[in-house]
A and B are shown apart, each in its own frame.
Chain A
């Protein structure tokens, strides 16, 4: 007799279920953000080539739709002092073509930890713990070097597909010292990690959902399956 929760809600809670005992706070915020929040505060200068990679939606007043949940870090850190452990679930927007693996509206869960000691090994350990929490410990994964302007070192975590090859699961890294400085903190004292996880990708890997577009289609046959 109960109605159904949307699978995006369910998977958000599953991720929080792992991080809550680790003292993470969930932060929410607006979908319209400034270019400072979307880019400048994340070490992506106006002429930085990475800015073009986000396919950002702009409003006529010059603001933007958040291209990633990382855009909320800046406002969250204005009100907080380290140590912090934060999660940022929400809807993101990129002006790109839609197909079974991409949608211009999608959902992410970002994580941010800043203190004086959390390191890359903690990041990889926590992401491994999260994946085991979501899909069990049978999953084979690899970590590889990558590049994001707001993290350094940057990594991506891939999981092995049953049919062979690797599937990119998430991006992460140690918070770039320039970003820490942007929060008014001394990067010689403070460090931490950040990660961004696509919730549609989690549904693909953990539940076998083969088309991201179902999540905004409102089909009862889809929504009704998960609860």
Chain B
């Protein structure tokens, strides 16, 4: 509802708040309000339709903040009495209200005694919880004795723990988790009111979403993604989907997956037609899907990220990234190398180790890194790419003379 600031001034002769402050005061007591200085746009919730009439809104505002109004602002009678006492309200709120607080309900039109209150007949107030809400609006949240819940012994959450064990097992094999849309152009469970006519079904499997994930990342020549999510064919079932692209030897991965998840896993090459439809650019794409309920993932250690503070997001460019895979020989401190890379290349968005190889005789270690560079304002020019490559070659020779 839109009201003018002058409306409030007319009904509240001593109103001292400017429009912005008035909007804040209304918002805090349950009337979310925006203002441009002269008009106040008040969002009325479905339990406060009475305030579509500004006289009732001003009556409520004046009651809460104890403001003087013009005479005969509204007329009303009282609804049925509600049996409720101050100790009952204190138990709900965690408050210690005084007799004065209790009788402040009268400013909102209530008839008040110690054991019951009668709300004004225009209010949707019928339970002790409703009365407690009016009390907290009157006294303010600062009056509560804020207190966290007390500690209790941890309780097992088997389904959540199973999903996490699968996640840890898959990421430990180098597979990255993705989340994709639940809607699909084909399927067995149809929506009555789909968002678009192109996707009227719930997804029957996870393949399409995972193909779209590959298509989103054409610069990753080799990639592995998984998703754990509900499928509908037609019954709802949580499944695990895995997709790989660019790998020559999927048998080794299948063996590792089977061992990690405690069930036989087979990946099947994706049909060229499906790849073309999803606009997937990578070669050798394999997909497999299996029910979460059949997995028996081996215990794996909780990933370090769970114990670290949440990392801050770095904006990603709308322009294509530049990806480089580099191998550093004779190095054994990947964290140091990654730190050096971030310091040396301001265009570097992501630097991550993707492989390692220890020579069986010399025991020397070779580390492979994937580096993703980006330019926020434009696509990389050939000159910029050459500069980055030259700088990278220089960095590599300084990191290790054998690179």
**Contact surface of A with B, Cβ cutoff 8 Å:** 1-6, 8-11, 13-14, 16-17, 20-28, 30-32, 48-50, 57-60, 65, 85, 89, 91, 93, 95, 104-105, 113, 117-122, 124-126, 128-129, 134, 142-147, 149, 152-155, 174, 176-177, 191, 203, 206-210, 214-227
Return the CB mask of B74-93 against A: 1 if under 8 Å, else 0. Answer: 00000000000000000111
10 closest Cβ pairs, A-B complex = A23-B152, A121-B94, A218-B213, A153-B133, A145-B30, A26-B157, A119-B94, A147-B45, A227-B305, A26-B160
Task: Decide if A124 touches B141 in the complex (CB within 8 Å).
Answer: yes
| CA A93 to CA B192, docked complex, whole Å | 14
B137 within 8 A of A: yes
For B236, the chain A residues whose CB sits under 8 A away are: 30-32
Return the CB mask of B194-222 against A: 1 if under 8 Å, else 0. Answer: 11000000100000010011001100100
Q: Which of B150, B193, B220, B314 touches A220 (beta carbons < 8 Å)?
A: B220
Q: Least Cβ distance of A136 to chain B in Å?
A: 9
B97 within 8 A of A: no
Q: Which one of B104-112, B164-172, B265-273, B395-403 contacts A?
A: B164-172
Q: Which one of B6-14, B324-332, B347-355, B383-391 contacts A?
A: B347-355
Task: Decide if B149 touches A118 in the complex (CB within 8 Å).
Answer: yes
Q: Could you jot down 13 A-B contacts, CB within 8 Å? A: A1-B356, A21-B152, A22-B148, A31-B182, A59-B189, A117-B91, A128-B148, A144-B28, A145-B28, A155-B141, A218-B179, A218-B180, A226-B313
B316 within 8 A of A: yes
| CA A89 to CA B130, docked complex, whole Å | 29
| CA A57 to CA B191, docked complex, whole Å | 7
- List the A residue with the shortest CB-CB distance to B147: A125
Number of interface residues, chain B, beta carbon within 8 A: 99
- List the A residue with the shortest CB-CB distance to B334: A1
- List the A residue with the shortest CB-CB distance to B162: A28
Q: Least Cβ distance of A71 to chain B in Å?
A: 14
**Contact surface of B with A, Cβ cutoff 8 Å:** 27-30, 32, 45-48, 91-95, 127-130, 132-133, 136-137, 141, 144-157, 159-160, 163-164, 167, 170-183, 189-195, 202, 209, 212-213, 216-217, 220, 223-226, 229-230, 232, 236, 303-306, 310-316, 321, 349-350, 352-356, 372, 374
A-B contact count (CB 8 A): 258
Task: Decide if B224 touches A221 in the complex (CB within 8 Å).
Answer: no
Assuming the contacts A21-B151, A58-B191, A129-B148, asked whether A154 and B311 have C-beta atoms less than 8 A apart, the reply is: no
- List the B residue with the shortest CB-CB distance to A206: B310
Task: Decide if A105 touches B181 in the complex (CB within 8 Å).
Answer: yes
Q: Least Cβ distance of B350 to chain A in Å?
A: 5
Interface of A, secondary structure class, is mixed
Assuming the contacts A122-B94, A218-B180, A221-B349, asked whether A17 and B306 have C-beta atoms less than 8 A apart, the reply is: yes
- List the A residue with the shortest CB-CB distance to B182: A105
Assuming the contacts A32-B232, A177-B127, A221-B316, asked whether A124 and B144 have C-beta atoms less than 8 A apart, the reply is: yes
Assuming the contacts A5-B177, A59-B192, A60-B190, asked whether A122 and B157 have C-beta atoms less than 8 A apart, the reply is: no
| CA A21 to CA B175, docked complex, whole Å | 30
- List the B residue with the shortest CB-CB distance to A144: B28
Q: Which of A144, A215, A219 touches B30 (beta carbons < 8 Å)?
A: A144
Task: Decide if B129 touches A174 in the complex (CB within 8 Å).
Answer: yes
Interface centre among B128, B160, B226 (most CB of A within 10 A): B160
Assuming the contacts A3-B224, A10-B306, asked whether A223 and B152 have C-beta atoms less than 8 A apart, the reply is: no
Q: Least Cβ distance of A56 to chain B in Å?
A: 8
